[in-house]
Structure 1
């Protein structure tokens, strides 16, 4: 096994270990949240009724025993049963798909936009255009999600009447059946994401431009476009891919507020409702899905960096 294969094998083993650790943290952490499904639903019922309900849901068993049963079921693809009696997988299937669709559309716009803005500003470090782009990106990333989403509703939907203010999706229908309802949520998420990814790409580009080998090419009269293509972009790609992957996963869970503002039927409403009612199986499943997806995205980003960087360096030479 070569050096790259060894490093990837080690990172894969670390990722598996982190997933196991994550499962324990998620289960125990959620279990320690104040309230539970029984008290949330039965309220001030008698202690006998509450005890019977806790026994029926298995909440009277030791946490270690419940955790081991949960992990075994999770490894078999069983996300458990909600306190309402519905399978968690059934509750999340459509909602999670809607959130993934929103994240994919956002990334499809975010990737080229952040790359163009970041590279453009980084190549012109210290110029007026660089300062303007940097200030705008910093301002956008500083605005809370609900403020930005609410502002778009007031200006575009209410003021101009161009797009619907609420992203309602009919039951048993796909959001793609009415693409206009996706525009404002996607724009909100793109603005939030580009503020972070654009600044990272801009900093990476500015650092690459100052590298000795780039300066050597410039002093030897190599055309600017060739320098950017063969020396600057190869240094930007690995970092950009990592940022895009992590941002894409973060959009699935981080769009909770945006989904709530627009009434979009994603996992945001399910997560908020589950936390409010103490529906532990749903909260644990969502936390594990989102946390696991982030760890896997980081591993894929490392894999892409290891495999892509040597190819780009060879192409540059």
Structure 2
């Protein structure tokens, strides 16, 4: 690793810390403006104003926003995500749900990487041919359909009407989703729908550029077999960009996962987020928003670092 690259990575890490601090403050203030009151949510709608006032004082909601944010941020730094409106620690409340969401997103990424790479290479090496035009048009159409629309269609057609797979992804409490693979199929397909199309389009474009590079043309003119040209000329140029796209797409899966989980009733963070917003459980919403934003930010910075590393390597 060169000195310039170390300096760049250090700068990006410092930027990440600053952005995370800004993100946490924006999330805390924004969520605090949402309708609902944790004190009322904890006591119920029949609570008297005096009871609500006492609960707000006990929860610290009567303190200034800036003071509450600093206490909350200090808790985050020590691994404390706060306490839900029902008195349950947010970290314990989310632990199992995060694992279930990680299973869903992980399976999607495991399918995304090989499928997008193969499809992108095939279409890129057949640029401007009939198969490429048809495939590119289909991919463009696919990216226009949101994941939750695909999820609703799959649940209705494949699940409810054809009954090939469960229309709802219910998992018994305490069980891992991996012990019930049939409930994972439709949610994973819904998430894979748009992410695969986006990643394939980018890899296809990179493959087209790499295939027309001077060193690749020279390999062909020297009679090197096309498979060798692909493995040693095209693929090394495509993989760094593909890795960036996979990282960014994986981070983007978080938002899609929430919507898809809500459609299928999957026991992940999606259900918790939707119910917490509707009931005004602000500590849970704040913790989830920061976690999702932080993961997206870190994935984006990792993609930038990969791009910078590859660019400096090629320039040497």
Q: What is the TM-score normalised by the length of structure 1?
A: 0.91
Conserved in 1, the CA contact under 8 Å of 2:109 and 2:250? yes
The alpha-carbon deviation at position 73 of structure 1 amounts to 0.7
Matches within 5 A, 1:227-242: 227-242=229-244
The alpha-carbon deviation at position 289 of structure 1 amounts to 0.5
The alpha-carbon deviation at position 122 of structure 1 amounts to 1.3
The answer to whether the aligner puts 1:184 opposite 2:186 as a matched pair is yes
| Match of residue 7 from structure 2 | 6
1:250 alignment partner, one of 249, 252, 268: 252
Question: d(CA) in 2 for partners of 1:71 and 1:123?
Answer: 50
Question: d(CA) in 1 for partners of 2:176 and 2:187?
Answer: 15
Structure 2 unaligned segments of length 5 or more: list them: none
Match of 1:30, SS? helix
1:86 alignment partner, one of 85, 88, 91: 88
Conserved in 2, the CA contact under 8 Å of 1:234 and 1:309? no
The alpha-carbon deviation at position 36 of structure 1 amounts to 2.6
| Match of residue 174 from structure 2 | 172
Deviates more, 1:303-312 or 1:238-247: 303-312
Question: d(CA) in 1 for partners of 2:306 and 2:120?
Answer: 20
Task: Report runs of 4+ in structure 1 exceeding 6 Å deviation.
Answer: 309-314
Matches within 5 A, 1:195-206: 195-206=197-208
Question: d(CA) in 2 for partners of 1:91 and 1:128?
Answer: 52
The alpha-carbon deviation at position 152 of structure 1 amounts to 1.6
Conserved in 2, the CA contact under 8 Å of 1:167 and 1:182? yes
| Match of residue 50 from structure 1 | 52
How many corresponding residue pairs? 314
Conserved in 1, the CA contact under 8 Å of 2:258 and 2:271? yes
2:104 alignment partner, one of 102, 105, 111: 102
Deviates more, 1:104-113 or 1:301-310: 301-310
Matches within 5 A, 1:61-72: 61-72=63-74
Structure 1 unaligned segments of length 5 or more: list them: none
Question: d(CA) in 1 for partners of 2:237 and 2:40?
Answer: 55
1:115 alignment partner, one of 100, 117, 128: 117
Question: d(CA) in 1 for partners of 2:227 and 2:315?
Answer: 17
| Match of residue 155 from structure 1 | 157
Question: d(CA) in 2 for partners of 1:265 and 1:115?
Answer: 31
Give the root-mean-square deviation of aligned CA atoms: 2.2
The alpha-carbon deviation at position 229 of structure 1 amounts to 2.1
Conserved in 2, the CA contact under 8 Å of 1:238 and 1:309? no
Deviates more, 1:55-64 or 1:267-276: 55-64
Conserved in 2, the CA contact under 8 Å of 1:100 and 1:252? no
